Amino acid sequence: MTDRIADFFAAWGETDAAKRRATIAACMADNFVYCDPRSPGHLTTLDTLVDYVDMYAQMAPGWTAGVIQTDVQNGFARSIVGFGDGGDWTQHGTYFAALNATGQVTTLAGFAGAGGLQQ
């Protein structure tokens, strides 16, 4: 159920822009909402989401993102995500997701930090 969340964040470190876009497209439902503390509001189209992730890849070359832990409760998922250089997670975020029947993301909302983990 949560494979697409992991794939979505793995795409953040993909260096090939076409592969990054294809992975993001496969992870997201036709109608979705994405937001996090740095996004310019709600992102609701594939183009705006891909542009946002592309910006991460450009501003933090060599950095990747990865799901550290995911919990599922009644059709919702909470994921702790690490961001950093080569898997050395120097920043963390907590993301809440809703998925459709095929496991694609319909809503993904991110928050800075991960409980007791340092930023």
Q: What single letter denotes the amino acid at residue 75? A: G
- Element (H or E) spanning 58, and its range? helix 46-59
What is 90-115 written as a DSSP string? EEEEEEEEEE-TTS-EEEEEEEE-BT
pLDDT in tens, the chain (119 residues): 679 999 999 999 999 999 999 999 999 999 999 999 999 999 999 999 999 999 998 899 889 999 999 999 888 999 999 999 977 899 999 999 999 999 999 999 999 998 765 55
Structure confidence at residue 19 (pLDDT): 97
Per-residue confidence (pLDDT) for residue 83, from 0 to 100: 95
Question: What domains are defined for the chain?
Answer: 3-112 (3.10.450.50)
Residue 2, sorted as left (phi over 0), alpha (psi -120 to 50) or beta, turns out to be alpha
Paired tokens of 55? 């910006």
Query: What is the structure's pLDDT at 109?
Result: 98
